[in-house]
Amino acid sequence: MPAMTMVQALNSALEVMLARDPGVVIFGEDVGFYGGVFRVTEGLQQKHGQERVFDTPIAEGGMLGVAVGMGAYGLRPVVEIQFADYIYPATDQLISAAARLRYRSGGEFWAPITVRAPCGGGIFGGQTHSQSVEAIFTHVCGLKTVIPSNPYDAKGLLISAIEDDDPVVFFEPKRLYHGPFDGHPERPAVPWSAHKQAEVPEGYFAVPLGRAAVVREGAAVTVLVYGTMVHVALAAAEEAGIDAEIVDLRTLLPLDIDTIVDSVKKTGRCVIAHEATRTCGFGAELAALVQEHCFYHLEAPIVRVTGWDTPYPHALEWDYFPGPARVADGLRRALEG
């Protein structure tokens, strides 16, 4: 099996779906001739034609607006938002239209739309190219939210998202596009090729939505993470020499509660880590659920390690980013209790 970067795996998923389903159309800013500022749609217009892969005006809300209409007709639009930070103009169409259409029409119409957006920091993008906004969408009934952490999942989950008949917001940790990132910017960048999850089948395959993956077994503490933080958590556990069980959520909504509960009941301790700001971040929901389901198994408070409740500062990126040291510290606090 070929080794793919996350960019190549996403491109391959789009390629596969364009070939399988004539209803799939892909559009967004600079995704056509150019192939996207992160190259995820590279070559797709050349191969499948400009009617299927095309540039749009700079109007995220407009993209979602027309996507809802296309979905009502019977197409499967895949929309690229150039950066998750720029999804806000699309929130009204995403929430008021896409997420509510099936319900309000009594099931007559629905919105089989996938919204892709690069998220997270690590590239010195400053406060408007680094945001993690997943918690806004996980609060919205009618939306599914997915965040992959490696090429294999990225392709399999994106295929599932496109095939899903409900709207899916698909966030791509941009710091992982070209290699896994353990949260040590000072170390040389590692390519995906070395990584086992970079072996990705050329053809069609799906990773089902709603299923987490235990990426590291352990008995001492459960770590709930997704996206870039999966790699950071692995590094933190190694560096701290802590027998942590690390769960890659992959899909935030619908959430794989059983995998989470099984693990926490086993370890009795839980650390939640995400890059997004803390207050009302997805970690809040995870903490609430864990204590609801595992209260009598918990031996220590659930610890949240997150981005600070500030914008993502350009020059202070690594003071903001919840790196291995901070996660390891969280692990220790969870163990001490």
Ligand X SMILES: Cc1ncc(C[n+]2csc(CCOP(=O)(O)OP(=O)(O)O)c2C)c(N)n1
Q: What residues are labeled active site?
A: 129
| Residue nearer to a copy of itself on the CB measure, 37 or 289 | 289
Is 128 an interacting residue with respect to other proteins (CB under 8 A)?
yes
Determine, following the binding rule CB under 8 A, whether residue 34 of this chain makes contact with other proteins. Answer: yes
Task: State which residue, 23 or 89, has the beta carbon closest to a copy of itself.
Answer: 89
**Which residue, 277, 278, 280, is CA-closest to 303?**
278
DSSP bridge pairs for 224: 247, 272
Cβ–Cβ under 8 Å, residues 160 and 254: no
Furthest CA-CA distance within the chain: 59
Determine the residue with CB nearest ligand X: 86
Distance (Å, rounded) from C-alpha 41 to C-alpha 30?
A: 9
277 contacts a copy of itself (rule: CB under 8 A): yes
Q: Which residues contact 47 (CB under 8 A, 6 or more apart)?
A: 15, 18
Site string for other proteins, 173-212 (x = CB under 8 A): -------------------------------------x--
Q: Is 284 in the site for a copy of itself (CB under 8 A)?
A: yes
Q: Which residue has the tokens 């918690």?
A: 135
List 46, 105, 193, 279, residue binding a copy of itself (CB under 8 A) = 279
Separation of alpha carbons 129 and 169, rounded Å: 17
The answer to whether the CB of 182 falls within 8 A of the CB of 231 is yes
Within 276-315, the residues that bind other proteins by CB under 8 A are: 278-279, 308-311, 313-315
Which burial class, exposed, middle or buried, applies to 241 when counting CB atoms under 10 A from its CB (0-12, 13-18, 19+)?
A: exposed
Residues of the shown chain interacting with ligand X in the complex, contacts defined by CB under 6 A = 29, 58, 82, 86, 89
Closest approach of Cβ 270 to other proteins, in Å? 18
Q: How far is the CB of 52 from other proteins (least distance, A)?
A: 8
What is the total count of residues that contact other proteins (CB under 8 A)?
A: 78
* Residues within window 60-119 making contact with other proteins, judged by CB under 8 A: 61-62, 65-75, 77, 85-86, 88-89, 92-93, 96-97, 100-110
Q: What is the CB-side half-sphere exposure of residue 145 using CA atoms within 13 A? A: 21
Cβ distance to other proteins smaller for residue 268 or 330 = 330
Minimal CA–CA distance to 334: which of 218, 253, 231? 218
Residue window 54-83: x/- pattern of binding to a copy of itself, with contact defined by CB under 8 A: -------x----------------------
Q: x/- contact string, 120-159, with a copy of itself (CB under 8 A)? A: -------xx------xx-xxxxx-----------------
Task: Name the residue nearer to ligand X (CB basis): 97 or 198.
Answer: 97
d(CA 294, CA 224): 14
**Token pair recorded at residue 64:** 């979602």
